[in-house]
Amino acid sequence: MTRLPTYTEWASLLWKEYEYRHSTYWKSLYLWGGAATALSVAPFLRPELKTLGAAVFIFPFLALAIAWIGAWHLAAENERLSVVMAKYNELRKHLKPPWPYTGIKRSWYQQAITESVGNTVTFLFVVGFTAFAIVDALFLLILLDPEVWQVPFAVGTFILVMAAFLFFLRVHRRKVRNNQAVTAPKPNP
């Protein structure tokens, strides 16, 4: 007859899975961030790339695309990580300290400091690399033709609007999630 694992064995298994997911998240962050950074700085490190003319702008736009794809991948990895952590916390529910913000409406500051590190890092990753791509494109434009300023403002405005959209989408998602937590029925003691 097969013996079922004990709580300690389950907790150990879930902790190993958490460690794996955690390391995968951070390795992915470094991989995507390194790829986006390499594409962004390539035209500045290799002067012969400037001879491509307007085609050199493909580098910051590819960096931006890689950053957004990387943010999508990081969000997926963070979701997997949070599922494992939720199971781990469920298993040790009587052993972990109480959470002070359960079921109460929190201020924006309390929401900010209690937000998941993975969610925050993913959001900062996409916003940071979006801003980096805009600045990169502006510097490239100045290097290629200092007289032209209309193009970067149009492109920069578009990218800033997209970043603002992502920011407000995130804020709205957080508000919906917090309202669900506040209106959820309380368990019977």
pLDDT in tens, 96-153: 666 665 566 666 666 666 667 788 788 888 888 888 888 888 777 777 766 655 565 6
The pLDDT value recorded for residue 182 is 44
Tokens of 32: 């995507």
3-state SS, residue 6: coil
pLDDT in tens, 5-51: 777 788 888 889 989 999 999 999 999 999 999 988 888 887 777 67
Q: What is the pLDDT of residues 117-127, one digit of tens each?
A: 788 788 888 88
Residue 30 Cα distances to 33, 34, 122, 125, angstroms = 5, 6, 12, 11
**Distances in Å between the alpha carbon of 95 and those of 29, 38, 89, 98?**
32, 45, 9, 9
What is the rounded CA–CA span in Å between residue 104 and residue 114? 13
